[in-house]
Structure 1
Amino acid sequence: MMMRLLVPTLLALTAATAPIAYAQDDHVYTSDLVTRWGKAVTPDNAWQSYPRPQLQRKEWRNLNGLWDYAITDPAVARPAKMDGQILVPFPVESRLSRVARKLTPEQRLWYRRAFTVPAGWAGQRIMLNFGAVDYAAQVMVNGAIVGGHKGGFDAFGLDITDYLKPGQNELMVQVADPNSAGTQPRGKQSLEPSGIWYTAVSGIWQTVWIEPVPRLHIADVRATADIDRGVVEVDVALSNWASDTDAVRLTASSGGKTVASTILRGNRHATLAIPGAHLWSPDDPFLYDLKAELIDVRDPYAGMAERDRHAYDARFTVGETRRYADAQPVGAPRDTVQTYFAMRKISVGQGPVRGQPVLLLNNKPLFHNGTLDQGWWPDGLLTPPSEEAMKSDLIFLKQAGFNMVRKHIKVEPARYYYDADHLGMMIWQDMPSGGGEDQFVAGTSQGQAIFPAATMADHISELTRMVGNLRAFPSIVLWVVNNEGWGQFDSATLARTVKGLDPSRLVDADSGWMDVAPGVSDVFDIHSYEDKPNVPTRHADRAIVLGEYGGVGLPVQGHLWKPGKSLWSYQVAGGDGDYLTRYRAKMEEVIRQARDHGLSASVYTQTSDVEDEINGLLTYDRAQAKASAADLAKIAAPLWTPKP
């Protein structure tokens, strides 16, 4: 979203309700705006779904709910007393957390709760998992430090077995967050929110849970479809190195019927043939189930002369693959995880306009009609009130004729991508931006930002973890590495890194401004908020896209974040009719560009209003659509109608 290219329209509105007043001066403004899902949130129902749907185990225990919390100076080793209770997993600044207090870069946020481990888990290792903590976390169990994590958008887990005791255990988490005073990836968060910058978010903001695993267990299953060959390539990584009798049994199925199965040595690769593959698409989001079981097998090399030499020489060979495929299982599985995959392909190739490549899905042109989706909520901020609330955005957009969402410089809870997979919504996933104000590259800049080596290393680490955590979700079809130069550095190298990690998807190196990786980026991406969006320059070797356009504002009284405050939009409609007229004019230009110039995608700003911004298709509380889904879908329909 552009900061400087256009002067935003400011609109002063009369307050319908007074802001909430707090006695403490460190409280955050939270608005009276609450979603219908937020009104239903309780300590007993806060985010109860299994949080890792692409690597799911049967046994687990959710630790969401009321925890004790405190905010202290950084020198405090442990709070003498706690300040009150906080509802996890909602960030401390949010209304739903029941706290709504500011955390400054100089302070520390503490969490504490008691938990017990089910007796039936005895003899197994106990993993403590966090969906996301913003930004730097240190975790303690029964007073001992068990580990830490730095990075606000990715999941992490810690083995806490050796720190547990019988009965009740104490879990404490200390969090530091520099927020917009630092250079770390943070997206739209700001300690001084205004315009396109939103309320800062700190601490635990996704589900916390424990689960039992064997000492050696399945850590990752990576399935990559190849529809041209009719196979799915599967990598299975274990938590540690494996012995020659540690194997994994893979079973792909559809509707409960086995499609393919094999056995492979632990920490190895397998190829499963999927005959007559049913392809995934937005109109037909078909998914295959995949089960991975860690099993024991009889030693495949038993009885051979120079047995150890043969086993060593066979490593990572076709011979090893064949030997384990024929191996004989022994006993019951030691670990089992459920996951799924889709047979689909995203690529760039010939389109209807000669000389201008387009985006292809399953080797056929498909226009990506999307919205810029911030994923913010008036009551939970970065944390949606519930999965139902989060899913409702996708359902509305599907009904409104959209088949893609650009997840804008935020990473969602994993359940979001699970829902997108099942609903048939393609995702362009942004890397959350970082950097300081003087490291934001302008539209006229001729060079990229400069950072210390440690800062670059942290950013690259978070980028690779984002790709690693999310690459299992087939709805994600494109990675966006940089947005409008916000903290942009060495863009070509970052884009190559992402391509190397995940060659099965496309990469947008620079969305909107400084295009410095033409030989790496699969798309040429411009942002245009004019009344009618500009046409991207044609490119013979990559697709052209409108990474952002639109921005038509319409304030809806009774559904505003801060009534009485000047609000932000690129243009302001005079009413419902004018709103739809302006939207139609923009979409008709998109349709023209697709037919006449080979435009491959457009991203309309935006799904919903967000704090000061009023340019959403939905109000911030998702209570009202500014145009009906049916009208929006009708306007977009010519995008998929053949040119006469």
Structure 2
Amino acid sequence: MCLHPSSEANERDKKVFVVPRGDLEKVDEEDETSFEEKCETWRQKVRGCCQDQPPTKQQQRLLTTWGERLDVEEGLPHAEYPRPAMVRDEEDWVCLNGFWQYAVKRIEKGSPPRKFDGDILVPFPIESALSGVERRITKDDFLWYRRTFSLPKNFSRKTSRLLLHFGAVDWQAIIFINGQAVGEHSGGYDPFEFDITRFLNHSGTAQQEVVVRVYDPTDEGIQPRGKQCSDPFTSKRVVAPLGMWYTPNSGIWQTVWLESVPKEAYIHKCRIIPNVDANTVTVTASVRQEVFKRNHGLFVRVTFQGEVVGFASGSTHYPVEVKLSESHKTKLWTPSTPHLYDVEIYLHDSIIPKSSNNHVDVVRSYTAMRKISVGEDVNGVKRLQLNNKNLFQYGILDQGWWPDGLYTPASDEALRWDIQLCKNMGFNMIRKHVKVEPQRWYYHCDKIGMLVWQDMPNGSMPAEWAPNGEKDYSENPLDPLFAKIFEDELSSCVDALYNHPCIAVWVPFNEAWGQYNSVEVVTWLEHYDRSRLVWLSGGNDFGVGSAIDRHVYPEPVMPPLDDKRVAVLGEFGGLGHTLEQHSWTAQTETQREGEGEEVASSSSSSTSEEDAYATFVEWGYGQSENLDSLAQDYLSMLDKLNGLSKSGLSAAVYTQFSDVERESNGLVSYDRKFVKLDVHLMRRAHHRLLSRASTIISRSHQDLVALVQDSISKMPRSATFNILSQALPQSPEPAAGEAEQEGRRRRKSEAMSTVASMPRVSSLSYFSCSIST
């Protein structure tokens, strides 16, 4: 997408560096280090010790359990199939994660280095501990990667093409194969690929060489970068992460992989759109061909737990609509019942194939019958709906940061653990905050049953902003270069994640950061993806989108109601409590001991009085003295949310899932080794909130409930106790005599008659729940 194409020169053009495509200078030195030696060197850098020796106190790092378990000798990191929403056969792909050579050189030298600095473990960013490097790069540096690989066994130059995939590289990358420039890509969060077939060396068993050159100015550029901060703007003397700004990530941070596809034609992309109201699934495929032909067709088959529930065929030039079987009862996707349908897409030579046989290419995906929309409740208030039913969405803010891998967790198991814990806590939604995750993260949300509000990462500088709406209708002036960079990456991210049913909301701008042309961007995104909702988050509202979203700390507050949009609380809470044994600061201060006065002085400056966030460091938006008070404060906020939901609030997001570096306002410690609140307690409290908030009764019935509750509160305590204790289900009691049992039955019947004579509301169960709690 380019909403604002422009050829005007911009002074920020100097931030984008492109090397002319030409033959690269051959690297003279080959990597002669054995794999075992690389593993041992990596272990010493990450764990500060040899394989059989425990680390000393000065060598300890803040590692997650998965980081401690990571052993490169036992297998490649993140070796799972990286694109679960579009899968080819297992023998068609090869993972290129593992050890690569790396070098950091000044940008004045545009050609690959003759000598590399060492080895880096891909896909961990160079600033992370798990990369084995833990080194910062600046706006004046190029980061180089190099490795060799063999052609896949099933690859044939006569029948196949070879694609080189990158899950994500932050920020700008140029790819070279065997000394020739293949292409370039800008964007730190979206996947990209290159057809490298014509650059391969087919002589004998020759090794293929891939070189990647990366440029990443982090916050000194204008590109989307989320909360990465190399030099926090609160103080130019600060060189360490501060407050809500975190360690930057540069270079390759998601899986690199090879994929063999048919030479004649192959499915490049597919878009799957479920329609709950019509009971259909529509598939649109993008096909790449060696020689353009008009006679290619698609055959689509939809199955549920192995049973075929629908199939259809058609031309590749039009969407193919599959009508699900009427005899099959549609299984709707919800957080409590995350039913998924398998979708097989076959590419054929014929325009309308009659079966899946004799196909040219095939990919397997999945979808879910779910509908995200806005509707009115019985009082005419706009509410969020899932599958045409009101659903209060209560979620957690998730930054997606890890102490050992930064943007990249140590394993896919760690990636899934965060989501499953949120599910166990009773949340039904996660707001992925100004970061786009690997596609497997959304796959786990699809499988587990977790709605997602997806933020677009921030970029550029913020417009004037106030969380309470005082700066509504304020935004930055149009910068054509920033607009082009932002819009290209936004559309690419939407394309990459489109087929994941879990995503319910797109948030293009958060808290006015980089916000510009808000009406145009929101309107475009609503039309580009009609299956989801779109809105601005946290202020600077422009009256567009499906919701009015406010951020209020720490106590939840009701946003203003709108006759066209839902009211949501995009952020609240932020209760802080530091656990020293799991603290990022305690670990980093230990590592700084003895590293020199220069580091110490820069560290001390991060807590100077000049820093706007000095009081925020180590805490959060509110401070709890201990875990008991933290639990009490949190439960108190939930009670307030319950009242707000009755007033029209449709969703709320608590800040936040885990501590992150200097922030300690998470429900989980940064290393994921300690959960600050009891999981079962949270689950019960959240279940009660969601049950009440999703049960909407009319205002007249609300008045009746208030009247009855007021009357009961004025009754003598003994009378109230007798009515409730006898009307509601009781625990089994010891056996009694026949006369006593008859007396109990009579008294219970009288109590039930008394309750039945009271004014009726929508359901006695709701009435009973309201009284008893």
TM-score by length of 2: 0.74
| Equivalent residue number for residue 428 of structure 1 | 453
Provide the secondary structure at the position in 1 that maps to 2:102.
strand
Find the aligned partners of 1:361 and 1:30 in 2 and give their Cα distance. Answer: 50
Q: Is the 8 A contact 1:238 1:267 kept in 2?
A: no
Name whichever structure is richer in helix by fraction: 2
Cα deviation, residue 328, structure 1:
4.9
Task: Indicate conservation of the 8 Å contact 1:237/1:268, yes or no.
Answer: no
Tell me which structure has the larger Cα radius of gyration.
2
Shift of 1:274: 1.6
Structure 1's 328 and 397: CA in aligned 2 closer, same or farther, altered over 3 A?
Answer: closer
> Does the CA contact (< 8 Å) of 2:47 and 2:60 recur in 1?
yes
- Correspondence for 2:188 among 149, 152, 162: 152
Structure 2 distance, partners of 1:482, 1:559, is: 32
What's the offset of the Cα at 1:30?
A: 11
Q: What residue is the counterpart of 2:286 in the other structure?
A: 237
Indicate which of 141, 149, 152 corresponds to 1:107: 141
Q: Which residue identity is paired with 1:466?
A: C
Contact 1:242 1:267 in 2 (8 A): no
Which aligned pairs between 1:320-339 and structure 2 lie closer than 5 A? Answer: 324=352, 327-328=353-354, 332-339=358-365
1:600 aligned residue (636, 641, 650):
650
Question: Are the structure 2 counterparts of residues 188 and 331 from structure 1 closer, same or farther at C-alpha, using a change threshold of 3 Å?
Answer: same
SS in 1 for 2:209: strand
Query: In structure 2, what is the Cα distance between the partners aligned to 1:61 and 1:638?
Result: 47
Question: 1:218-297 maps to which residues of 2 (within 5 A)?
Answer: 218-240=267-289, 243-275=293-325, 276-297=329-350
Find the aligned partners of 2:466 and 2:211 in 1 and give their Cα distance. Answer: 42
Aligned equivalent of 2:540? 514
- Give the structure 2 partner of residue 494 of structure 1: 521
**Residue in structure 2 matched with residue 477 of structure 1 by the alignment:** 504
- The normalised TM-score by structure 1 is 0.88
Partner of 1:71: 104
**In 1: Cα distance, 2:675 partner to 2:76 partner:** 27
Aligned ranges 1:223-622 → 2 under 5 Å:
223-240=272-289, 243-275=293-325, 276-297=329-350, 324=352, 327-328=353-354, 332-352=358-378, 354-436=379-461, 439=463, 441-443=465-467, 444-445=470-471, 447-508=474-535, 510-516=536-542, 518=543, 520-530=544-554, 532-563=555-586, 566-595=617-646, 597-622=647-672
Displacement of 1:436 in angstroms is: 2.9
Kindly indicate whether the alpha-carbon contact (under 8 Å) linking 2:429 and 2:453 is maintained by their aligned counterparts in 1. Answer: yes
Aligned length: 585
Using a 3 Å threshold, how does the CA distance of structure 1 residues 440 and 171 change in structure 2: closer, same or farther? farther
Quick one: which amino acid aligns to residue 187 of structure 1? G
The answer to whether the 8 Å contact 1:351/1:598 transfers is: no
1:197 and 2:231 matched: no
Gap change, CA 1:433 and 1:30, over 3 Å in 2: farther
| Cα drift, residue 447 of structure 1 | 2.5
8 Å contact from structure 2 (residues 424, 679) kept in 1: yes
Question: Which residue identity lines up with residue 75 of structure 1 in the other structure?
Answer: E
**Could you say if the C-alpha distance between residues 543 and 633 of structure 1 is closer, same or farther in structure 2, counting changes exceeding 3 Å?**
same
Distance across 2 between alignment mates of 1:37 and 1:422? 21
1:266 positional shift: 1.9
- 1:15 match: none
SS in 2 for 1:558: helix
Distance 2:112 2:675 in 1: 48
Deviations 1:132-177 (A, max 9, x none): 0000000000000001100000000000000111321110000000
1:629 to partner: Cα distance: 1.1
State the alpha-carbon separation in 1 of the partners of residues 391 and 60 from structure 2. Answer: 41
Root-mean-square deviation (Å) = 1.9
Q: Secondary structure at the match of 1:567?
A: coil
Instruction: List structure 1 runs of 4+ shifted beyond 3 angstroms.
Output: 327-331, 439-446
Q: Which structure is richer in relative contact order (CA contacts within 8 A, separation 6 or more)?
A: 1
Indicate conservation of the 8 Å contact 2:578/2:619, yes or no: no
Report deviation, 1:361: 0.3
- CA drift of 1:385 comes to 1.2
2:5 is matched with none
Q: Secondary structure at the match of 1:472?
A: coil
Give the fraction of aligned pairs with identical amino acids, expressed as a percent: 39
Deviation at 1:45, TM superposition (A): 3.0
Deviations 1:292-319 (A, max 9, x none): 111222xx6xxxxxxxxxxxxxxxxxxx
- Work out the CA distance in 2 between the residues paired with 1:399 and 1:586: 20
**Quick check: which one's strand share is greater?**
1
The yes-or-no answer on 1:635 pairing with 2:635 is no
- Post-superposition offset of 1:242: 5.2
Structure 1: which amino acid aligns with 2:94? R
2:222 aligned partner? 183
What is the rounded CA distance, in whole Å, between the counterparts of 2:223 and 2:659 in structure 1? 26
Cα drift, residue 245 of structure 1: 2.5
Deviations 1:257-288 (A, max 9, x none): 21111221123201111233210000000000
